Structure 1
């Protein structure tokens, strides 16, 4: 690069005048030629020029450093891909995008191109989280391969697109491979639906739900929001009072207390409380789960359980 600059200076002196004493190329054009030569030098030399240019520009480093399950709903699962970018330069840079391809069991599951606008300060490291949505229709194509398995090999590869001073958009290839556990979603069922207290204006209930954990690791139910509907009428909403640990390959019990007011629901509830006839129920909500690992942490899982319960 230094030899290129010296050559340009010599070239600049030679073209300042002709035999007639008139400038062949103006000083303004000389600056443009110089800028063009510097750009071409960077473009041709690539990463090596960035490191050895003498201008203090060092190639940033990028890597995929995490893969975790963010959330699950009835349509798709969201996976967070963590991309780390190290910028050792004295100027800040920005992450402009990330294109990727995800393979499970050696078969391409999906690909995408995610635009980003994340700043990485000078002399610092920044982590960008890229949410990747996997629909169940995509997963169904691999259902036979994944059936009965507790884990699956994965490979994710792509390019981190950086916006660098002078250079512009610069892509760094990244990849990561390993083994992902296939989480088994907890199974919920009604253990009991009991009346705790009956008063003149309302009644208190205690609903107990049994939760089966078929995973090879403990699950912590950190929270739960729910809505209880009985015979088509909402009987109550609420949240879990305290966390419940589900041992690996074991069960746990969620205790859900709630109260109803006769004036809100109607006197038909008195008929249920006094008689032995059954009733239809529909319990839905979300569980907040933590598997104690990077793959399954603070995951919101929707649930719904409905059926018919014998009388109280």
Structure 2
């Protein structure tokens, strides 16, 4: 009986591993606006759902790093769901406090930009499998807003 259960577990595990899983990629990270306390950026994530049913996104966790330091992090609860057999664009707002930017002055330097790494974890509820995390990491360079951006 024990051997039968082991074979059944192995079979189910192999089938689940062979199933198509949702895939995601960061398509863009852009300046959004300046507020009195922080600079808002918006990360756009394209998530492809291979299933014929919509899949809910439970939450999104993010960590925004520059110069090997975390400058912003957060969780977005219940950001919506993924369209069936389609690619859904998911917006991830990132708020960077001014106090952090001052401490990054050396990285900002003369070119007025920030080299960053954005780490995301999209937690989705896949039928049969349960909660599944899609890990993403994206590196890039962000221009800081100028006075014309602030008053435009």
The reply to whether TM is greater than 0.5 is yes
Equivalent in the alignment of 1:137: 99
1:68 aligned onto 2:34 = no
Distance across 2 between alignment mates of 1:71 and 1:109: 17
Classify the secondary structure of the residue corresponding to 2:110.
Answer: coil
**Number of matched pairs:** 147
What is the RMSD computed on CA atoms of the aligned residues? 2.5
Among 28, 36, 41, the alignment partner of 1:79 is 41
Q: Does 1:173 align with 2:135?
A: yes
Greater relative CO (CA pairs within 8 A, separation 6+): 2
Aligned mates of 1:133, 1:88 — CA distance in 2: 31
How many Å separate the matches in 2 of 1:49 and 1:99?
28
**Pairing 1:244-283 to 2, within 5 Å after superposition:** none
CA drift at 1:302: 4.5
The corresponding residue for 2:16 is 50
1:121 Cα shift? 2.1
Aligned equivalents of 2:145, 2:99: Cα separation in 1? 18
TM-score of the superposed pair, with normalisation by structure 1: 0.42
Aligned mates of 2:42, 2:104 — CA distance in 1 = 20
Provide the rounded CA distance (Å) in 2 between the counterparts of 1:142 and 1:103: 11
Match of 1:127 in 2: 89
Of 47, 55, 68 in structure 2, the residue corresponding to residue 93 of structure 1 is 55
Matched residues in 2 for 1:159 and 1:88: separation? 19
| Structure-2 separation of matches of 1:104 and 1:142 | 8
Instruction: Report the structure number with the largest CA radius of gyration.
Output: 1
Contact 1:50/1:59, CA 8 A, preserved across alignment: no
2:77 aligns to what? Answer: 115
Task: State the alpha-carbon separation in 2 of the partners of residues 62 and 88 from structure 1.
Answer: 11
Q: 1:132, 1:125 → 2: CA distance? A: 22
Distance in 1 of aligned mates of 2:63 and 2:57 = 18
Q: Helix, strand or coil for the counterpart of 2:145?
A: coil
Residue 72 of structure 1 contacts residue 302 of structure 1 at CA under 8 Å; is this kept in 2?
no
